[in-house]
Structure 1
Amino acid sequence: SSSRKAEWEELAEEPDSVESHQGCPNMRTARLLLEGLVGLSQRAEMARNIELSLPGMVKILQAGSEDAKMKILLALQNVLCQLKKSKASFIAVQLVGRLLPLFDSECSELRELSIRMLTELLQLVVGRDEKRMRKEVWWALVPLLFRMSDQVPSVAKASREALLAAAELLKWKTLKHLLQRERLWELGACLVRTS
């Protein structure tokens, strides 16, 4: 958009504005860079280059603002769907553990986005990565059960869908059966017994 272009031009004319104290990007610059990253990640040729930035993106997932974390998740979604299946599968296993802390975010949009992304990651795994993903997803089961009672209906729905995807991956018929019948008390008891 023209306003976005104007912001970029203004930043280009002010070299001192790009970095604040101690060489860290200021908030406005960081926001623009992240918005640019989301846009670039939608283009197949750029998605492959952005893959090299994954370690930095993961750091933002751990320590960035909620807005920054949401933009990183959107960029990661775009990148993963454009990579070869085997590469996307490998990265998916690495990312699961990074999503779990986001389930407790005060921001309901970030909770929902991170839970929906977990569902996508579970569906990306192929071959040998399936076994590794089964180990990773165990840690998500109880947090997802709690989120099924989230006050925000879309978060609760996303949690149920993620648990169904986990049950599918784990080939756990009892879990799937209880979820389909929404028997939450029995579901909780089932998870406690097996965790």
Structure 2
Amino acid sequence: MIVQEPQCPGPLMDYSPHLLVDLLFQVFDSTEQTSEEVNTFWRGCQEQHDLPTDPNRFAVLTMKALLCCLHWEDGVNSVEDNGGWARLLNAHSRRYAVALLAREKRHVSRPLCSRITLHLLELLSREELCWDLPAMAFLVEVLDCLDTKECGDRVLETLSRNLGSTNKKRRQLALRVVVALSQDPVMAESIWSLSERLVQLLGDADRDVVWMTLSVLDHVLWTSLWTRRHERVRSKDPLISTPTGLQLAEALRPLFDHDDSSVRQGSMVLFSRVIKVIEREGKRPLKPLVCLSLLPLYFHRHDEKVLVKRASQGALLAVTRFLKRRDLGHLVNTEEPWSFGECLLKKDRRRVAKYMHQALPYLRSPQQPLREAAVKFMGIAGGYLRGQPNELQLIIDALQAITDDSSPTVSSLALEIIRFVGNVQTAPYPRFQQLRDQLCGAWNSRPSLWG
């Protein structure tokens, strides 16, 4: 009744952001199960004032009238043309409707959007809020209207709770907000306060969640490093503490073998950045973990995806520098794919059995080049496991299981290595050296996919 007056009172205009949010809340609350007490009250209002049957529909009509009162008729019509008002009445599509409403408002009035968002942040801080998904959907669309210097910490506080939610959609929306915030240099280092939550999300089963998390961490780390270097920002605190760096590196390593190539690439790029940062603070705690990354990166140097190949190459170079292994670094780009594995095992003979066990899963890789690399690595490892019959038998059994591989190259290589490993135990040392030389020569002359 008030908004239908020719001249709206000033307080109505001043409190319009709060009124719009409260009307949205009424719509969301009404689409949920309504108590009998509320239904009885509404029936009385309906009979007395001839109101619409549904209270949520009346709330939408009131919202549209308020927006028109604010001279936003074009926005109301645009939302109508895109089916936004009808979707707002449906509990399953209301997040889409809120996002549409936010985009339209942002185009027309950024100050109004900013005031609405600040009020939403106040409401999102309440644990009992039942419509935080739509509220987050609004927030992600209008972040650029906010002054992050003033309210960035409040946004991060809200995001921290939602990133740890068991609700998949809530996690995704919260991550979308973090992705948008990470583009703001002012927020870069502050986002590290969410690092514990973000590291946990790297183990999420949802590919999109993992990819967005990698994007946030990589962008924030790069921005923070650039800021400290180029703007000469001095801080006594390290950008990444050693415990956080360890947790992050440990969470990244399994992603090298992720089914999605974008995740593989992103995890390798971020891993390179992390070890470079940690190296400045003290690399001893990270060294064992970095050693475990050598073999996966070595195999993915021959990944079928070109971008993953490049990322693994860059990560291998970073890792070899970290470990001060110039001998390995020189072999990263070699045309002789077996030479890296040979050098790795020759200089670290105590870990040959561990490396062999680490390589076993790659015999079943969906990518032929990786299977081929794993088979050849088994041959190299077998040569250094002389005198360890149990480990040699494990190699033979694993290779025997792939002699029927779909790739003739892989199956043929497996048979060659089985014969070689079978002779390792019994052949005299000079004969053993001759056999290994013959095997390496055969690898070099064989046409393969390794180039």
State the TM bucket, normalised to the shorter chain: 0.7 to 0.9
- Kept in 2, the 8 Å contact 1:18–1:25? The answer is no
**How far apart are residue 47 of structure 1 and its match?**
2.8
Q: Following the alignment from structure 2 to structure 1, what is the Cα–Cα distance between the partners of residues 326 and 173?
A: 46
| 1:118 equivalent among 271, 276, 283 | 271
Deviating above 6 A after TM superposition, structure 1's stretches of 4 or more consecutive aligned residues are none
**How far apart are residue 6 of structure 1 and its match?**
4.5
**How far apart are residue 70 of structure 1 and its match?**
1.0
Aligned length: 188
What TM-score does the superposition give when structure 1 sets the normalisation length? Answer: 0.81
The one-character-per-residue Cα deviations of 1:135-159 (angstroms, maximum 9, x if unpaired) are 3210100011111121111111211
- Kept in 1, the 8 Å contact 2:217–2:270? The answer is no
The 3-state SS of whatever aligns with 1:62 is coil
* Corresponding residue number in structure 2 for 1:174: 327
Q: Following the alignment from structure 1 to structure 2, what is the Cα–Cα distance between the partners of residues 172 and 101?
A: 23
> 1:185 is aligned with what amino acid?
W
**How far apart are residue 26 of structure 1 and its match?**
4.5
- Kept in 2, the 8 Å contact 1:142–1:191? The answer is no
The 3-state SS of whatever aligns with 1:179 is coil
* Corresponding residue number in structure 2 for 1:86: 238
The one-character-per-residue Cα deviations of 1:80-109 (angstroms, maximum 9, x if unpaired) are 232757232633343111101111111000
After superposition, residues 75-154 of structure 1 pair within 5 angstroms as 75-81=216-222, 82=224, 86-88=238-240, 90=242, 91-154=244-307
Identity of aligned residues (%): 27
1:187 to 1:5, Cα distance in 2 relative to 1, 3 A? farther
Farther off after superposition, 74-83 or 59-68:
74-83
> 1:131 is aligned with what amino acid?
R
RMSD: 3.0
| Greater gyration radius | 2
Q: Following the alignment from structure 2 to structure 1, what is the Cα–Cα distance between the partners of residues 274 and 97?
A: 34
Q: Following the alignment from structure 1 to structure 2, what is the Cα–Cα distance between the partners of residues 8 and 136?
A: 46
Q: Which runs of 5+ in 1 are unaligned?
A: none
The one-character-per-residue Cα deviations of 1:21-72 (angstroms, maximum 9, x if unpaired) are xx73342x43222111011123233233322221111111112411101111
1:121 to 1:8, Cα distance in 2 relative to 1, 3 A? farther
1:176 to 1:5, Cα distance in 2 relative to 1, 3 A? farther
Q: Following the alignment from structure 1 to structure 2, what is the Cα–Cα distance between the partners of residues 32 and 78?
A: 18
Q: Which runs of 5+ in 2 are unaligned?
A: 1-81, 83-95, 103-119, 121-128, 135-164, 226-234, 352-451
- Kept in 1, the 8 Å contact 2:238–2:281? The answer is no
Q: Following the alignment from structure 1 to structure 2, what is the Cα–Cα distance between the partners of residues 185 and 89?
A: 37
**How far apart are residue 169 of structure 1 and its match?**
1.2
Farther off after superposition, 140-149 or 41-50:
41-50
- Kept in 2, the 8 Å contact 1:34–1:71? The answer is yes
| 2:203 equivalent among 62, 67, 75 | 62
Instruction: Answer 1 or 2: higher relative contact order, Cα 8 Å, separation at least 6.
Output: 1
> 1:7 is aligned with what amino acid?
A
* Corresponding residue number in structure 1 for 2:133: 18
The 3-state SS of whatever aligns with 1:150 is coil
**Greater share of residues in helix:** 1
What TM-score does the superposition give when structure 2 sets the normalisation length? Answer: 0.38
